[in-house]
Amino acid sequence: MTAKKAVVLVSGGLDSATTLAIAKSQNYTCYALSFDYGQRHKIELQAARQVTKDIGVVEHKFINLDLDNIGGSALTDSNIKVPINGLSQDIPITYVPARNTIFLSLALGWAEVLSAYDLFIGVNAIDYSGYPDCRPEFIVAFEKLANLATKTGLEGHHFKIHTPLINLTKTEIIQQGLKLGVDYDITISCYQPDERGHICGLCDACRLRKEGFEAL
């Protein structure tokens, strides 16, 4: 029996590393996809490379995409500062317009070429920044779209978007990853690490990660 193929979005952070480990544990043959999208924390791609090497994938593809050409986020416009005063009630300025729609669309394109019908994304709607494109209703709508948008969908195959972390707390995510042997030391979550990879410790991503480990 041939193992089923999955395309897994890997950013280099804690969540996507755990997601990749979960996909592997479910016996998927994994194809990792990362984006060089003009992000402030481009150093995360080095971590992504280490993560996929460590966990093991068939192929790791990097797609170049100049989202800094669009801007509108502290992560893609260097003139906008990353907030460091703690999580707010509102959607923060680190929100990148339509990012997960764009990333999943590209993952869908690659999946179709590979004849892979399973896509994994490490979105989380519990310990998160309130990004709209991390919520279950977004994922449901994308899955429906994926099956209407593609030749594969028309031919009767069904794309499934897997979100194994969506209802977990950060601590539960880490617990699951540790069980699966994820080495979190090689992951990076910070939105604004320096060029040597030193984290700021103050941005939302750093705070969520730290609180997750502290609660363990």
The answer to whether residue 49 forms part of the interface with a copy of itself (CB under 8 A) is no
Identified binder of a copy of itself from the candidate list 25, 50, 70, 126, rule CB under 8 A: 70
Its sign, for the CA torsion 206, 207, 211, 212, is negative
The answer to whether residue 89 forms part of the interface with a copy of itself (CB under 8 A) is no
Q: Which is nearer to a copy of itself, 63 or 84 (CB)?
A: 63
Report DSSP letters for 124-162, one per residue: -SSSS---GGGSHHHHHHHHHHHHHHSHHHHTT---EEE
Q: Which tokens hold the place of 53?
A: 């090497």
The answer to whether residue 91 forms part of the interface with a copy of itself (CB under 8 A) is yes
Q: How far is the CB of 191 from a copy of itself (least distance, A)?
A: 17
Distances (CA, A) of 43 to 9, 23, 90, 102, 192: 16, 24, 27, 20, 9
The answer to whether residue 67 forms part of the interface with a copy of itself (CB under 8 A) is yes
Stretch that binds a copy of itself, among 21-29, 56-64, 163-171, 176-184 (CB under 8 A): 56-64
Question: Quick check: 9 and 100 in contact, CB under 8 A?
Answer: no
Identified binder of a copy of itself from the candidate list 84, 145, 180, 202, rule CB under 8 A: 145
Residue count of the chain, please give it. 216
Positions in the binding site for a copy of itself (CB under 8 A): 61, 63-67, 69-72, 91, 95-102, 105-106, 108-110, 112-113, 132-133, 135, 137-138, 141-142, 144-146, 148-151, 153-154
